[in-house]
Amino acid sequence: MSAKSIDGRSIAAELEKKVAAEAAELSAAGITPGLAVVLVGDDPASRVYVNSKKKACLRCGIYSEEVKLPATATQAEIMAVIDQLNQRNDIHGILVQLPMPAGIDEHQIINCVHPSKDVDGFHPVNLGRLISDEPMFIPCTPAGVMDLIKSTGVEIKGKECVVVGRSLIVGKPVSFLLLREHGTVTIAHSRTANLAEVCRRADILVVGVGRPNLVTGNMIKPGAVVIDVGTNRVNNSLVGDVNFEEAAAVASYITPVPGGVGPMTIVKLMENTVLAARLTKKQHS
């Protein structure tokens, strides 16, 4: 078997057209969707991500503003900046670029973003809404993962779904989204006994732990859909958490790294920003 590669770039490009049309419609009604990105310090990977998001905003007709703070910024200074952004009517979404410098409480910073502007979907209110089956902003990477799975045409309902990773950014939200689609979900992690055996049960396997080539071909059920969320730099190249060549020989569909989940994360951020602006318009109409 040779797996079909799921082209995240082309799927994201199609969704981006839809987001741009919605942004243009809002702008014509007098509300230009606005996204503020808070960047603290000089992490090179964070700078690459922020630049990608700024370019996506430009393509979608979303106003973007970068708030750059030095690595020496205190917790109070960062929270004061976020509080100012919370109060601005022209900013509908606030994204705090992680990771933060050492000594900063990231949870406290995320909690400082008003839930109505939390376009990353990480605030406890928005995570709680997701768990309660009343989502407002779905975290961007998990939302992108679901679109990629659905693009294959494989029905989630009744399938064995295994999620490797239990982070609030990927693993836990993906698990709840799969449950919403009536999948039978197992969450595996670094302390899971017989990880290979658990993975082999999966009709749909989502891997997001940040360990290069953790999942090998002999851990994959023949015909499975494999979504690789990992992005790891090895010898100046990007590789996923799944050994692509081995997995592609067994799976029916698989996402490449790069070019799989990454582009979906960015376009889902754009989609959430437009949704935030639309909700603002609804409140004031």
Percent of the chain predicted with pLDDT > 90: 92
pTM of structure: 0.95
From residue 93, give the alpha-carbon distance in Å to each of 37, 97, 121, 231, 272. Answer: 9, 13, 10, 25, 8
Catalytic member of 97, 172, 241, 268: 97
Say what the pLDDT of residue 218 is.
98
Rounded to an integer, the average pLDDT of 108-134 is 96
Mean pLDDT across the chain, nearest whole number? 96
Rounded to an integer, the average pLDDT of 3-21 is 98
Task: Please name which of 59, 149, 98, 93 lies closest in space to residue 269, comparing C-alpha atoms.
Answer: 93
Beta strands 184-188 and 160-164: pairing type? parallel
Say what the pLDDT of residue 44 is.
87
Told to judge if 97 belongs to the known catalytic residues of this protein, a careful annotator would answer yes
Q: How does residue 284 score in pLDDT terms, banded at 50, 70 and 90?
A: low
Taking a C-beta distance cutoff of 8 angstroms, is the pair 185, 216 a contact? no
Say what the pLDDT of residue 1 is.
62
Say what the pLDDT of residue 282 is.
73
Assess whether pLDDT exceeds 90 at residue 177.
yes
Catalytic member of 118, 120, 147, 228: 120
**What confidence tens digit (pLDDT) does each residue in 191-225 have?**
999 999 999 999 999 999 999 999 999 999 999 99
